């Protein structure tokens, strides 16, 4: 009898995709305003790089984030080039002196993390990733952390993204006055602008009240349990070259939020298989 593992022509189940990579993005935003903005530890929408290509640089806030220091010595940046193909580069930190990457064909940054570090094992100060032409902030690694926090991703050309859902929470305050709307948003290729001028399509929206921190100790210790939204019937498909982001809007004054999502990118690595629902 032939083992089922030796049968090569079995159909792949509909709930399974092959040749994939899974990426997680999450962030805290201390001051979401009254219009939608992506959740990021910049507490503001990141600058968008030009589709014609830009350079990038690291600007440090601590002198010990350098080759001789105890903090970060190197960061790795991953994103897309002018053909919207995956791109990766490393930048050596130099304390409070800006350090540029040699390439000028960056069009989007998906992630940044510390790839070289001293005895502290984290960044000593804030490390900000900048557009070296315009000087706008693309993202940052907070002091004591190891990776950038931007709740957004751009799917490379020739690839497809899948998202099952997203998680979200609102931090309690002493004088709650409203709530927060969360949207998972997508912008199609061709609408990426250098001044965040994309037209966003809402893929899903949820609402959460702002909890009262004065009651946190007396109401079962659960002022605002993180919630999760899952797309019914399976994941939403994110086409090539599209940007997807988790954004939030406070219905009254500013609110502090956190959230994130996992995105599965098909066509990213040989031999990896995952179930998508």
Closest C-alpha to 241, from 125, 145, 183, 154: 154
Secondary structure class of 180 (helix, strand, coil): strand
Quote the pLDDT of residue 204: 96
Residue 49: count other Cβ atoms within 10 Å of its Cβ: 25
Given this model, what pLDDT does residue 51 score?
Answer: 78
Q: Which of 190, 277, 177 lies closest to 240 in space, CA to CA? A: 190
Which sign does the torsion angle of CA 57, 63, 65, 67 carry?
Answer: positive
CA dist 248 to 67, 96, 110, 133, 149, Å? 38, 32, 19, 29, 15
What is the predicted pLDDT for the residue at 226? 75
CA dist list (Å): 193 to 37, 108, 251: 15, 11, 27
Q: What one-character DSSP code corresponds to residue 268?
A: S
Question: What are the respective helix, strand and coil percentages of the chain, to the nearest 5?
Answer: 0, 45, 50
Residues 6+ apart with CB under 8 A from 190: none
**Residue 253 tokens, joined:** 């004054």
25 with 261: CB under 8 angstroms? yes
Q: What is the pLDDT of residue 111?
A: 96
What's the full length of the chain, in residues? 277
Residue 203 Cα distances to 34, 72, 206, 226, 238, angstroms? 20, 37, 11, 20, 10
Whole-number Å distance between alpha carbons of 38 and 46:
8
Q: Are 71 and 122 in contact (CB under 8 A)?
A: yes
Q: Do the Cβ atoms of 143 and 61 come closer than 8 Å?
A: yes
pLDDT values of the chain reduced to their tens digit, one per residue, 277 residues = 445 445 455 555 555 666 788 999 999 999 898 999 999 999 888 988 887 889 999 999 999 999 989 999 999 999 999 999 999 999 999 999 999 999 999 999 999 999 999 999 999 999 999 998 777 999 999 999 999 999 999 999 989 999 999 999 998 877 666 889 999 999 875 555 544 556 788 999 999 988 776 654 545 444 456 799 999 988 999 998 899 999 999 988 788 999 999 999 988 544 455 555 5
pTM score of the predicted model = 0.84
* Confidence at residue 23, expressed as pLDDT on a 0 to 100 scale: 94
Query: Domains in the chain, start-ordered, CATH in brackets?
Result: 16-45+152-275 (2.60.120), 56-141 (no CATH)
């Amino acid at each position: 009898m032939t083992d089922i593992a030796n049968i090569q022509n079995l159909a792949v189940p509909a709930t399974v995709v092959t040749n994939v990579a899974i990426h997680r993005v999450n962030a805290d935003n201390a001051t979401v305003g009254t219009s939608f903005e992506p959740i990021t530890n910049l507490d503001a929408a990141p600058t968008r790089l030009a589709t014609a290509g830009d350079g990038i640089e690291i600007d440090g806030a601590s002198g010990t984030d350098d080759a001789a220091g105890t903090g970060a010595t190197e960061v790795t940046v991953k994103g897309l080039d002018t053909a919207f193909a995956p791109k990766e580069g490393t930048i050596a930190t130099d304390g409070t002196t800006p350090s540029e990457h040699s390439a000028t064909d960056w069009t989007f940054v998906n992630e940044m993390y510390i790839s070289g570090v001293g005895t502290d094992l984290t960044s000593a100060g804030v490390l900000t990733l900048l557009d070296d032409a315009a000087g706008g902030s693309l993202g940052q690694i907070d002091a004591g952390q190891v990776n950038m926090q931007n709740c957004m991703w751009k799917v490379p050309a020739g690839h497809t993204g899948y998202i099952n859902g997203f998680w979200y929470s609102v931090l309690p305050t002493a004088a709650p006055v409203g709530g927060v709307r969360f949207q998972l948003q997508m912008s199609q290729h061709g609408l990426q602008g250098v001044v965040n001028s994309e037209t966003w399509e809402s893929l899903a929206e949820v609402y959460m009240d702002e909890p009262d921190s004065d009651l946190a100790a007396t109401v079962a210790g659960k002022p605002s349990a993180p919630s999760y939204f899952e797309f019914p019937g399976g994941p939403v498909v994110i086409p090539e070259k599209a940007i997807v982001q988790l954004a939030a809007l406070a219905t009254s004054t500013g609110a502090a939020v956190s959230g994130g999502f996992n995105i599965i990118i098909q066509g990213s690595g040989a031999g990896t298989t995952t179930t998508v629902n």
